[in-house]
Structure 1
Amino acid sequence: MDHEEKLPRYRVLTGPDDATFCWRVSEMLDLGYQLHGSPSVTFNGDRVIVAQALVRPE
């Protein structure tokens, strides 16, 4: 079983809306994931928090 077979087919990434979050999403896209829907954005009183669902096709 290779690394890709161990990855879940569905993931939701969350975190502050910053470059680190964008890099995390980019890494998942490089692994073959595709964006699933639009990102969700909220404000926690201190900073903007974003969530993005991703799916990996079979």
Structure 2
Amino acid sequence: MKLYRFLTGPDDATFCHKVTAALNKGWHLFGSPTYAYDKKTKSMRCGQSLVKDVEGQEYRADTKLSDW
């Protein structure tokens, strides 16, 4: 199965750690990161798409992506 995730977070080290953790679980960057201003919190937010191929498994709607 092919999995897709979009991670978001504040522009700080926690976002980088979140992406790094996913990369270390076998996820791969997909496309360019995004960066936008959040007017409500008056802060910058980051986003990054990730994909992962998992052999021998079938995707289901209740698949918990963070488990992979």
Q: TM-score scaled to structure 1, two decimals?
A: 0.80
Q: Percent identity?
A: 42
> Which one-letter code corresponds to 2:21 in the other structure?
E
Of 12, 17, 20 in structure 2, the residue corresponding to residue 23 of structure 1 is 17
> Which one-letter code corresponds to 2:38 in the other structure?
N
* Misfit runs of 4+, over 6 Å: none
* C-alpha RMSD over aligned residues: 1.7
d(CA) in 1 for partners of 2:28, 2:49: 9
Deviation of 1:44 (Å) = 1.2
Q: Tell which structure's C-alpha radius of gyration is larger.
A: 2
Structure 2: unaligned runs, 5 residues or longer: 55-68
Structure 1: unaligned runs, 5 residues or longer: none
Count of residue pairs the alignment pairs up: 52
1:54 aligns with 2:46: no
